[in-house]
Structure 1
């Protein structure tokens, strides 16, 4: 539906849902942590948040049942050009794009889980601030992220999707070093600890997450786009998101309680994502060059 020159901005708007969801989740748990004792929270309080979140299932169901097909896919249906088994068609025609897309998402999953999940444990158990204070820091990051996601989505329309993603991946990844240094040396200064989360997570991470939706859309044509985006995003979550808290815990133990091995892991993920974004950009430029004479 979006104008050709604003696809990055429009595609970034649904991405704000991540920040809103994180803000709501952190806020609810922070409120419960404030109202309940640790024993009460661990015994039954944490279940309240999950029960309340069930309401979002109905919101999601309503949206999914009422959203219309995109004009591009509607045109495919009118032409009877639909593929019978989208997954097989995707694997046959886009194996390279799948791998590049999964690699590009690496920093997204790793960084989100380090700063949105693991940092809470690190701040409460290593830095020894309260759970509520740690959660407020994550919640503040989510609020800031709501504004920077569309900013970077729009920026990708102006200077290039892969360029924003490339530099966003590197800056986001390397920001983990000063962020954890500040956590480690900030003492009990809560404002400094919040700053160590808000800047890298609320601002830099948005440079990755903002243009990500439009970037992945451009990897596949309309016939397999929904399948392609879903596969790249969800399957890469196995190594990008699912195992990251476990890896971070192991690296923290291996480093004797120091976070630098975790930061090195984040940088590795960022470099992989940046390289994949560069490959995607080179491929898009090549396709654009080839199709230009035909269009003329």
Structure 2
């Protein structure tokens, strides 16, 4: 869970940063709307390259091992995030800073392509079959933990730094914090042993030469199911933690800190609900929990955004909580469902690519929602 928390922290730091600072700092010549849209597209860029990372690290995970692959993914992510905190802005170096930012986002996206699948397999392949659905939910705690940590950092910063200092140099601090977090994550991952399941695959000579090809040949329908299930959880998280924060500040007039507090409260509750939904998956099956999560999310999405137009702060918190918790049904059960869908000898590739494709689509949710809102005058 520590590794997924760092990955999530890095992602949400960039998400919060893009909503408020990235546009003016790196894309100011494009104007207010253009710079905001470009900043959201920069988020999407990391998602676009994730399938490439999934193929690369999926191959490594199915051929070289789960543990070794996860050391690579966390290392690349941590270094790239730390370097973002050292970039020159447009005012300091023109478009050079933007170009370097894009390059580092590509590195982040590649590493993310192999992180999630490996984390799920480390958790499930060390556990008994009857408890795998529960343990598959544990790495999913990394998302709310990362969201809470990143939001807390920004809340503290807005209290101790002026707006001028935050825009001038304070925005770099969260990215630089990734460096000590990386050291802790690497230390913990070095203590993890290879999974018994992968050791059996090696001992029995069942490793595929090209896992990516094998999974499409043997499990095409399962891949479609896995992508659909992943879309629900990732898309909802992307919408709630990126676009909704920007929408609440820019269009509804809420204070930046209020949105982060609401997000943090929702994240704290998810630390309880995710394990509960994981336990529920062991009772009724991961597929059913995903189905209930999909239905609940579908029912509340439009009423939630309608209420936000008239929201006081308590209503804002309530909608952010409901809008965050219902998708965690599918989020918590996702790893268990995917683990059941694919055999062990190409499981890393299948989990990683299915999740990465869903993440690629979800990465455009904030930009598409912003463009739709602008076209309709946020009616």
Q: For 1:74 and 1:38, how far apart are their aligned partners in 2?
A: 53
Deviation at 1:209, TM superposition (A): 0.8
5 Å matches for 1:76-115? Answer: 76-115=201-240
Distance 1:89 1:59, change over 3 A: farther
- Per the alignment, residue 210 of structure 1 pairs with 332
Question: CA offsets, 1:95-151, max 9 Å, x none?
Answer: 222222112211112110111111111111111111111101111111110110011
For these two proteins, the number of residue pairs brought into alignment is 254
Q: Does 1:193 align with 2:316?
A: yes
- Per the alignment, residue 39 of structure 1 pairs with 164
Q: For 1:43 and 1:257, how far apart are their aligned partners in 2?
A: 31
Deviation at 1:72, TM superposition (A): 1.9
- Per the alignment, residue 242 of structure 2 pairs with 117
**Mapped contact 1:168–1:208 kept (Cα < 8 A):** yes
Deviation at 1:43, TM superposition (A): 2.4
- Per the alignment, residue 194 of structure 2 pairs with 69
Distance 1:255 1:215, change over 3 A: same
- Per the alignment, residue 308 of structure 2 pairs with 183
Distance 1:90 1:59, change over 3 A: farther
RMSD: 1.6
Distance 1:97 1:150, change over 3 A: same
Q: Does 1:163 align with 2:288?
A: yes
5 Å matches for 1:2-41? Answer: 2-41=127-166
Q: For 1:83 and 1:68, how far apart are their aligned partners in 2?
A: 22
**Mapped contact 2:201–2:344 kept (Cα < 8 A):** yes
TM-score under structure 2 normalisation? Answer: 0.64
Which 5+ residue runs of structure 1 have no aligned equivalent?
259-296
Deviation at 1:173, TM superposition (A): 2.9
- Per the alignment, residue 254 of structure 1 pairs with 375
**Mapped contact 1:110–1:244 kept (Cα < 8 A):** yes
**Displaced runs of 4 or more, over 6 A:** none
Question: CA offsets, 1:196-234, max 9 Å, x none?
Answer: 101220x21211111111111112111111121111112
Q: For 2:316 and 2:148, how far apart are their aligned partners in 1?
A: 18
**Mapped contact 1:31–1:132 kept (Cα < 8 A):** no
Three-state SS of the structure 1 residue aligned to 2:177 is: helix
**Mapped contact 1:111–1:173 kept (Cα < 8 A):** no
Distance 1:67 1:91, change over 3 A: farther
Deviation at 1:55, TM superposition (A): 2.4
Q: Does 1:129 align with 2:251?
A: no
5 Å matches for 1:217-232? Answer: 217-232=339-354
Using the TM superposition, name which of 7-16 and 143-152 deviates more: 7-16
**Mapped contact 2:141–2:274 kept (Cα < 8 A):** yes
Q: For 2:237 and 2:159, how far apart are their aligned partners in 1?
A: 24
Q: Does 1:153 align with 2:278?
A: yes
Question: CA offsets, 1:2-51, max 9 Å, x none?
Answer: 23322211111121111111100111112112222333222222111111
TM-score under structure 1 normalisation? Answer: 0.81
Q: For 1:63 and 1:232, how far apart are their aligned partners in 2?
A: 27
**Mapped contact 1:6–1:157 kept (Cα < 8 A):** yes
**Mapped contact 2:233–2:331 kept (Cα < 8 A):** yes
Q: For 1:134 and 1:24, how far apart are their aligned partners in 2?
A: 14
Question: CA offsets, 1:153-187, max 9 Å, x none?
Answer: 1111111211110110121232122222221112x
